[in-house]
Structure 1
């Protein structure tokens, strides 16, 4: 951390740039560790090692090799560490290390924490970091115990516990890495696996500030506006997604059509929730209708909550733009939610995040359309999955060319770091003091 601060001071890097550089360094270290002979059971190229490390640190879950077959237990432990660092954030581990050494958290460190957790002030950020770390570890351990009741009888004690811990860490951090080549398809109808895994990635994806406030305040009426928007927005998006997935797929004999009513419920529930950056799947996406794939693309683009283990444009960004459109149609000159006025700069920031995100994704799709001989719907799905750090795929990741893999890696990195960096940069930009005359432009 001291090296990062020294670099920031010497080269006048902003906190978002330092955080991005930190993620990049962790990816490089992860690449080197995954290339060690002790990490793999088969030959792993430098490109595939870099891709896997990038996917783990950005908590995406797209894979070019079989995680359970290509890596030894040591390699899988390396992946777990990379996922944990990528999900909770570099600053969380840096701060916890400093606290364990008994050292003081200075002003510059608090500034970096504020930026990494997308907070409005530095007050209480260290307490938030500590609460986040212990909550995350505690939740993952409890989930490991629950999943062990399912997997220890199947795989034996040691392997069953290891499988449970790996998937608990992967799920809470919205990584989507699985030790099975078909992800969780073998447990599509298991209530224990479905409920535990979805609880983990919903909890990790709702946002740490929201979780902290849920423990601090018990009344919805006293929650901050951000928390209210996240809770209500997440609920409605998930409910709509579940019913939509069922309606789109219940007649498809290769997905829901061949299942009983109870099994259809579990699979619809899981597959509707997982595009919110989780990345696990219990059905094969390559067999789904194109309408379902396009709807999933929309969910992946929205993503999870701000200051969470997930990515995407964020639920709050999406809801703010919907509220802004509603306000315009109603003839209002301000955006209101839950009897609160949303500042105009936040509306502008949300719109900027969406436009810039779409630019990055569609430019990447254009490049992939030139370099890859694959269906365009598959390239669109893969690109939005990478940007949203979701990890879902229709099975084309290992078929990508060198250029294609590099494009997806850049998208994964931008998806994890870029939207936050864009938001921070816009938040720190002061409005010009000069007011210009109005000009008319015809639209619509």
Structure 2
């Protein structure tokens, strides 16, 4: 029993720590950089952590600082971090299912009535194939576009197509261009491909598996309802905000035509959901846009996917609890299903730990750097949520602040999942009830 409770969370942490270590050693070798000599240890560590935690932040220009060998290492780290978290979370969810005995909460567990190793291996194979197929399809489409619309050679187009497909599906946000995704600000086709890869990869495999089996919304589980409807709401809010605040901003979308403005706004609504592609300079966006991005980045995407943040289901589950409390309902519910008290406490714990982590990180970086709080908060949330969007502040921070961002990326990638799973698994039954007391709230 002890192994079941503590083993999975420890496995996730160890997996990521080992991967970051290997990536750091590889990137610190002299033949991975474009210039003479080798990368500084801090730069190699930051890049390896960012790639493994599928964040996309970097203290250097990834496109020019690293040579093709370095880019291959980064790509492999992104793939390991993305598929690693998905397959490990699949295993954790299977253990969670076997421990709690809740049938049908997630589509990935719908057919899992046992916790046998054979079934675990079968499930993980399906998940890996799903993501690899998605990456391959996106890579082919990007390669064709780069080859015939941008005049790239076949080899170069194929490499860029594969790199950006893996980066998009895994919500990493790394690019091979100095200007980032802004290179495609006037190309709706590429923007649509990147947005599609980010959205599908970040929604989470449990949702996609359930959508394939249960196409009628009435048949969806609570998790799928929260994730799908919540993702649509956040997308529409982000799109409306980006259009409202940036369409007339001469430093961002103002000079663009209607079609380009619309597609860049769609990117502005999708990419902050834990994929650090940027089609505009975030140092030039309006304060309202930056504030909306704080929220979108912190919430993140779907559970058991390649996205980060506290997760859409966590945020909207807490919203459902608030609505039920305001209405004076005896049970918090979503649709015709009540939310167990243990799940409510779990969601509240994950959210408040996230808030606390961001606040501590921001205060430490402010102390170390003396930079404006608005920019530091943006960078801090981006690191914790593994979004990777940056105002360019990362490269200006002292090395000590880089280690804080590394810690935030690591905690954001593995912390919320391991904390949530550990809380769900550590369900103990008391043989007695304590007397209740009602403190003043509010």
TM-score (norm 1): 0.90
1:112 Cα deviation after fit: 9.7
Contact 1:55 1:62 in 2 (8 A): yes
1:248 Cα deviation after fit: 1.7
Q: Distance in 2 between matches of 1:35 and 1:180?
A: 22
Match of 1:77 among 67, 72, 76: 72
Change (3 A) 1:239 1:320: same
Change (3 A) 1:275 1:91: closer
1:179 Cα deviation after fit: 0.6
Structure-2 residue corresponding to 1:269: 266
Q: Does 1:212 align with 2:216?
A: no
Instruction: Provide the alpha-carbon RMSD of the alignment.
Output: 2.4
Structure-2 residue corresponding to 1:135: 130
Structure-2 residue corresponding to 1:198: 195
Contact 1:387 1:415 in 2 (8 A): yes
Structure-2 residue corresponding to 1:322: 319
Q: Distance in 1 between matches of 2:348 and 2:245?
A: 30
Structure-2 residue corresponding to 1:302: 299
1:222 Cα deviation after fit: 2.0
Change (3 A) 1:93 1:343: closer
Structure-1 residue corresponding to 2:23: 30
Q: Distance in 2 between matches of 1:290 and 1:432?
A: 49
SS of equivalent residue, structure 2 residue 301: coil
1:244 Cα deviation after fit: 1.2
Contact 1:22 1:90 in 2 (8 A): no
SS of equivalent residue, structure 1 residue 324: helix
SS of equivalent residue, structure 2 residue 364: helix
Structure-1 residue corresponding to 2:404: 407
Structure-2 residue corresponding to 1:243: 240
Structure-1 residue corresponding to 2:9: 16
Structure-1 residue corresponding to 2:102: none
Q: Distance in 2 between matches of 1:297 and 1:326?
A: 23
Contact 1:30 1:82 in 2 (8 A): yes
1:264 Cα deviation after fit: 1.2
Q: Distance in 1 between matches of 2:93 and 2:346?
A: 25
- Alignment coverage as a number of residue pairs: 423
Gaps of 5+ in 2: 100-105
- In the TM superposition, 1:47-196 aligns within 5 A as 47-89=42-84, 92=87, 111=95, 122=115, 124-153=119-148, 154-196=151-193
1:191 Cα deviation after fit: 1.6
Q: Distance in 1 between matches of 2:338 and 2:88?
A: 36
